[in-house]
Amino acid sequence: MVRSLRKIQAQIKRKRGASSTALIEDSRDAKRLRSGMMRQERLTKSGAARQKALQPKVMRFQHFQQLVDSNAEGGQHSVADVLRHVERFLSSIDEEIQQLAAARRLGRPRSAQEDRLRNLLEREQAEFDAGYEIPDVLDAEGVKLLRGWVGRAADLAQLKTRRITRDGRLLT
């Protein structure tokens, strides 16, 4: 059974001929076309939701990629360096929140972006206490993979990751 909308359209066009473009409202072909369009919309929505869910992780990994790129010798990093850069990343989110709060007029409610950043910071802090997922910059191979990463969420699975806690313990 054909599932792609483009293929469904091509089959219907081939079956009916190039001259006829109108479909009867409740015909089999119209139902196939409708279900194909609904499936396409569902796929688009789920892809967008997946991208939105991975965005904080992409931001985090891009921050570490800048750390690796700024390191001239290109070797691995120590746990203390990693903890310092995690703290720097979290403080950059906090600074952004402070800037938004300063730009807000007195007595006005927080903006949606400020609320989103506050929620993000709370989640990131909680994850840092339990085990913060970072790209593996403690290993030379992980550094090499991170350097080759182009910043796409789809390529995150190719990177080696580690978890580190606020007190410096490494988890898997």
Give bridge partners of residue 162 from the DSSP assignment.
134
Left (φ > 0), alpha (ψ -120 to 50) or beta: where does 109 sit?
Answer: beta
Residues 91, 79, 77, 154, Cα dihedral to 10°: -60
Domains plus CATH for the chain? Answer: 55-171 (1.20.1440.170)
140, HSE (Cβ side, Cα atoms, 13 Å): 3
Torsion sign, CA atoms 66, 115, 95, 137: negative
Structure tokens, 75: 């070797």
- CA 102 to CA 131: how far, in whole Å? 32
Angle of CA points 139, 140, 145, to nearest 5°: 100
Query: Exposed/middle/buried for 71, CB within 10 Å: 0-12, 13-18, 19+?
Result: middle
pLDDT tens track, the chain, 172 positions: 567 888 888 888 888 776 556 777 888 888 888 898 999 999 999 999 998 889 989 999 999 888 888 775 666 788 888 899 999 999 999 999 999 999 988 889 999 999 999 999 999 999 999 999 999 888 888 888 888 899 888 888 899 999 999 998 888 7
Which alpha helices (DSSP H) does 71-109 contain, by range?
79-103
Structure tokens, 112: 């949606």
- pTM of this structure: 0.73
According to the model, what pLDDT value does residue 17 have? Answer: 74
- DSSP, collapsed to helix, strand or coil, labels residue 38 as helix
Phi/psi at 104 (5° precision)? -75, 140
